[in-house]
Amino acid sequence: MSSVVVVGSGIIGALNAYEMVKNGLEVTYIKQSDSENCSEILLGDDIFGGLLLELKSGFEANFDFLKWGAKKLLNNLDIGTQSREKLKILKSNLFNRSLDIYDDFGFEFSPHGGLELYSKTLKSRLASLRPGDKTRRLFEFTQSRDELGIFSAFNGGGVQNKNIGILDIKAFLEVVEGEILKLGVKVLSDDLLDIKFDNDKISEFLCKNASYTADDFVLCDVNPRIFSKLRVNFAIKQTWLYEASFLSEKLPQYPLFFVDEGISVLADKGKIRILCLNSNRQNVNEILNKLRFYMQDKELKELNFNQKLTFSSASLPIFGRDKNYDNLLYCFGFGSFGLSMAPSVAEILGNVVANGLKNNESEKILLYSALL
């Protein structure tokens, strides 16, 4: 039986361990203490008009609409309209397969609804809507603007999006981790520090508490020290998610997504939660100041660091075999789309390792990976 070591954490690491053992491999799963976690965001349709939602975590049903971050990065790329249309299709294919995998685990994507707010670009947004699209419509605010709660001073336009749903990510992760234990995966807590080579193969992962050997190794995290030793340089951008929350008596009736400002808002159980994705803390607070103009209550605390995300410049995840050491595989760079694509990508890698496929022998790696 072939063996594989998977290093990572959260949904991405657990799903890779699951797909490997499901394909008959002997799996050791190393859960890192300082690994980049999935952003808890699920893409509801395509990458440009798409819905992003934070999945229910613990006892709170939290929505984070971080579409703006990925959209902003993508719009800075020098790609043509045809290439962007291809990306939409690729993202949609990965997302739809991920939904099937969630369904196989007994977790269903259920529509909920949210409100996209535009202070400047409403016309262009409306122009992008497809005729007959029943999932989105121009939102008419009532005279009292109660729908916006504390943000009733907002003077732009809105689009109601019905394709926003909830998934219990904490419960899902518990199910996956429980399943891999039942299937015989060795789950250990450790941190990857170094690697050993044997000619054109990786022979060993050297971790803080022990070393691990295997036929194949899967790295589900950005590790600059390891990348330097491998002499690889991925086109990635690391971005930080910041958060602020406060109590309010005037809660919005919908999850709000201030598109042009790049701010997401959720109201739940008397609390308003505000999130912003940016690589520069100073810029984040400048963006946050814009939100104050829409608020009845101007008092707003500074955003705090929440977690780190990694985007690839090609807007697709980085996964597949290393070009020099073909028993080393990568799986990262999902950005805000971890939950949208991690299940389907892990399934692809499980098939690649189990069947000993090279990158150019896997149509799905050729289509969906930013590695090539």
| pLDDT for 298 | 58
| pLDDT for 132 | 78
CB 272 within 8 A of CB 285: no
Dmax of the chain from CA atoms?
A: 72
| pLDDT for 72 | 41
Backbone φ and ψ of 261, nearest 5°: -90, -15
CB 194 within 8 A of CB 209: no
Written as six digits, the tokens of 230 are: 């491998």
Q: E strands within 295-357?
A: 304-312, 318-321, 328-332
Reported as half-sphere exposure (CB side, CA atoms, 13 A), residue 171 has a value of 13
**Closest-CA residue to 125 (of 48, 39, 192, 213):** 48
| pLDDT for 282 | 65
| pLDDT for 313 | 60
Which residues are CB-contacts of 298 (< 8 A; sequence separation ≥ 6)? 292
Written as six digits, the tokens of 167 are: 């998934």
| pLDDT for 287 | 72
The dihedral built from the CA positions of residue 133, 136, 141 and 147, taken in this order, carries a sign that is: positive
- Alpha-carbon distances, residue 29 vs 85, 102, 217, 221, 349 (angstroms): 37, 21, 10, 13, 15
**Pairing assessment for the beta strands 256-258 and 114-118 based on DSSP bridges:** parallel
CB 251 within 8 A of CB 149: yes
Per-residue pLDDT tens listing for the chain (372 residues) = 689 999 998 889 999 999 999 999 999 999 987 655 544 434 333 322 333 333 333 222 233 333 434 344 444 444 445 556 677 778 778 888 988 998 899 887 655 677 888 888 888 878 877 777 777 888 888 777 888 988 988 988 888 877 665 567 778 899 999 999 999 999 999 999 999 999 999 999 999 999 999 999 999 988 889 999 999 988 777 666 677 777 888 888 888 888 777 777 877 778 887 777 665 666 777 777 778 888 866 566 555 655 666 666 667 889 999 999 999 999 998 876 777 789 999 999 999 999 999 999 999 999 999 887
**pTM assigned to the model:** 0.77
**Closest-CA residue to 151 (of 122, 112, 117):** 117
